[in-house]
A and B are shown apart, each in its own frame.
Chain A
Amino acid sequence: MYELSSTNAPLQLFLPRPVRVLLWAITVGVIALVAIPSIYLLLWSLMGTEVVGRLDLHRASFRWFGAVLSSPDWLAAMSRSVLLGAFASVAGALLNGAYNYSKHFTSLGYRRTTNLAMTVLLLNPLICYALSMSNVRAVIRNVILNLPAGISNLAPFLDTMRVDVWFTLLMGHLAIITPLQFLLFEAADRGMPPSMLWAARTLGAGHVRSFRAVYVPCMRGTFIASVIVGFFASFDEIVLALFMLDDGMATIPLKVYRSISQVVQPHAAVTSAIVMVAAGTTWFLYSRTRPSPRFDVHSLRERLEGLPREVLAFALTTVTIFMLVGGHGDIPLVFHGMVAVLSGLAAGTIVGLLRLHNILKLLLISVNVETVFRGLARAFVLEGVTHDVRLIKAVEAGGFTEMTQDRMQRLARTAFGEFPHGRYVGTDRHVPSRFQELYPNYLHDQMLSRSKRGDIRFVLYGAREFEDDRAAHPAAARSFVSMHTAAGVTLLSVPWSAAIEISKKLELETPDLGVFEGRAAVFFDPPTTGREKWRVMLDNVEGHRLTQLRNYFYELVDHAQEIVRGGEDATFFRDLDDDDRHKLKSYILA
């Protein structure tokens, strides 16, 4: 999130206004041309009539979806495309991943040869390739029909299953999507220092272990991204299908291509809309569920935390639509289900899209692109702490943003996950019992998942308040002190009044804040009760803010006592001497 500050913002200053106006005028036209077909497809699928291109603007419905989804032909075509795409994309991702790992140990000539091979594949006119693959299919078919005596009884089965066709198609799709996935891995690889792999080898790991334990975890996002990109590239492939498949075995693109001249109903628009929604939904769900590699410490449940709102919308819409559509008799049940699920997916996606900035970030961050797909790679590989839109907005707006306690806790986890190794210096105004009420998972989230040794926490209350709280909640006070001291956190007590005064003098937004690795500051304005919204603000620690925070902490140190844990339940408040203060000051934000 801290990298979100616009890197190209200064360039805006150097574009003269007339040129900017001209560029905008052209851009609007280009975007209109680029986006209109996609929008029109969606409209066509909902409002299409039996006349090509004519829309019935007063009758938007899912009836064409029903026609397609209840058509065995179209469903079979869909399943063929999905299966083919799945096989080819997974195989391609594995091959490219293995190559991308091994290239770090090979010669420059080998890499150049591979680059050249990929360029050839990219520029290759597919129709020539399809012609050549027709020969391959004939050879495979010949082999099948002339199997050796022992296994010759398999021939009829293999022939019936059209193994020659599917095997050839799989080969062809692999050749088509491999360069695309190759570019994805190439782009992603630039963000991964090969020294990690060399280090693993130096420490004695074999290639297999190094690949499995170092490379795959680092490139996990790229593997998934390449499967997705490969799948949709394969799904969209038509040329090979045109040469290999007859009408009875058509894939979706082939069926769309042929249906244009054969039928007038908007079936093709419907399938295209389904694919478009599926593609968008896949990207979206992926972007919502995939954590940054730096979040590995979290469980699967936590990774899915971002989903509930979308899932709820999905479930509610699915059930509602199913019940509504189910009331009207003569449509097959499977169609009811599919329409309901489709609507649910759309609803979930729309709900999720309300966090528009997030999806934009993930889908579209890709500006530094060498090729089309390098952009996609960046979108997945460089996903930072972008899981929360409000956080990002808060950074950009430079002010407080409101959020629930649950969300605030997720943000805190995110921040701790983002800066897992460095020092955390924070203040907190809550006595132990209140602190544990507001941060029920604090121990798990922040203490166990990272080393806290070296952290400093200023508690903004004095010995008297602590004693009062301990009298009322002895267990909370005991665990508060023990979990901090056991983890190596320095606990310092500063009276609230002093903290307020210092923060006002230094014009800080709130005395309650945390600084991560001296780089990022989170300001908290907690509610008085757990049910109210929190107000949270983020800022980079640099320039004036750095000076401000440094002075704040220095003055806090001047007013601080150290909280020391004694035996059993005993806790002492120890005055600091000059040497202690000097050490602390030279340690905090040094």
Chain B
Amino acid sequence: MRLFRRLGVIGGSGPLLVTLLFYVVPIATWAWSLRHERPGQPVLPTYQSQIGDSAQISMSSAALAAFGGATVACLARFSSQRTSNVLTFAMMVPLLTGFVARNYSWVGLLTAIGSHRTPLSPLGELLDSRAGIVTVMAVVFVPFVYFIVSEAASHLSPPLYEASRTLGATDARAFFVITLPLLLPATLLAFALSTILGLGYFVTPHLIGGGNFPFVANGVLSRLDLGDAQGAALLGLYLLATVFILAGLVAIVRAWWLRRHEPLTKTPHYVRTK
């Protein structure tokens, strides 16, 4: 029985143990092992030159995805159940396709478009361009944003709009005064998370950008290809630190936002209770 109990404790701690043993320990030992590393070439300049592009492209694509995903989520909420299901289906199709495959498909598609003289052929120039990376990464992030904003949109309820009508607001005004502000926090959260995720990307910049716009992760791979394992590891460490600092900032801002916008149902501080 005691054995079962112990096994139960271990089983019940599964995700935590996985994080600890399979993530924290490897990352910590790896980071610790880098303390005396001397890279073949200075790492900081590489980081500084690549983090700018990484952040810029990630933010652009996250912004596009936030706009597109939030729009679809908003429309889905304001549509019939059937339409909503169809839109959700469309958002799930890419998830069934696979990440590398989608990038690969974009390569073929843009090549095909660019190789024929059609009105669409200028789109072929997206390949090996910054705009191409932004577009494809945005498309990758759209489902992610959609599902996050959908959660927020599910809290939009008819009484809010009925009340606004009763108070004399037009539907257009209600949309701008009620819908958009309520969807904004989730959209911003999705934008922030997409940006953070994008920082670690390297497949899309490599395949779509043709190596012209290396992200930090591409820099890591390049250094490994050149045999500078120490440099690659240090660059990776910088990337890790950047991601977690940004994630921490997002968490702090979110906590501040939530504190500032406490639900009205909470007892106000000036109400004294016995």
Contacts and interface: CB of A to CB of B under 8 A. Distances in A.
Interface of A: 4, 6-16, 18-20, 23-24, 26-27, 29-31, 33-38, 40-41, 44, 52-55, 94-96, 98-99, 101-103, 106, 113-114, 117-121, 123-129, 131-133, 135-136, 171-172, 174-175, 178-179, 182, 206-208, 232, 235-236, 238, 242, 253, 256-257, 260, 266, 268-269, 271-272, 275-276, 279-280, 283, 360-361, 363-372, 374-375
A23 B148 contact: no
A128 to B, nearest CB: 4
Interface string B90-106: 11111111111110111
A174 B19 CA distance: 9
A369 B203 contact: no
Contacts of A98: 8, 11-12, 14
A364 B94 contact: no
Given A99-B15, A268-B101, A368 B80 contact: no
B90 A99 contact: no
Given A127-B200, A128-B236, A131-B30, A372 B19 contact: no
A371 B149 CA distance: 9
Given A14-B171, A366-B88, A368-B150, A276 B104 contact: no
A14 B107 CA distance: 42
A53 B109 contact: yes
B78 A174 contact: no
A30 B142 contact: yes
6 contacts: A12-B80, A15-B175, A30-B69, A40-B109, A232-B98, A368-B154
Query: What 4 A-B pairs have minimum CB-CB distances, sorted nearest first?
Result: A102-B12, A125-B200, A95-B14, A53-B111
Nearest to A52: B111
Given A27-B72, A98-B12, A175 B19 contact: yes
Interface in B16-31: 16-23, 26-27, 29-31
A129 B96 CA distance: 24
B49 interface: no
Contact of A253 (B69, B79, B100): B100
Contact of A276 (B14, B91, B97): B97
A102 B82 CA distance: 37
B237 A128 contact: yes
B68 interface: yes
Contacts of B157: 11
Contacts of B21: 171
Nearest to B153: A367
Nearest to B144: A372
Q: Give the one of A7, A52, A106, A124 with max B CB within 10 A.
A: A124
Contacts of A171: 21-22
A259 B240 CA distance: 29
B158 interface: yes
B246 to A, nearest CB: 9
Given A34-B143, A127-B200, A174-B22, A369 B109 contact: no
B239 A127 contact: yes
Given A41-B105, A174-B18, A360-B86, A14 B98 contact: no
Given A40-B109, A128-B236, A269-B104, A364 B89 contact: yes
Contact of A369 (B12, B147, B202): B147
A125 B148 contact: no
Interface string B130-149: 00000100110011100110
B89 A54 contact: no
Contacts of B99: 236, 238, 253
Nearest to A130: B236
B84 interface: yes
Contacts of B97: 37-38, 41, 272, 275-276, 279
Contacts of A113: 16
Contacts of B59: none
Contacts of A6: 80-82
B33 interface: yes
B213 interface: no
A367 to B, nearest CB: 5
B71 interface: yes
A372 B95 CA distance: 9
Contacts of B30: 131-132, 135
B203 A121 contact: no
Contact of B170 (A16, A99, A182, A370): A16
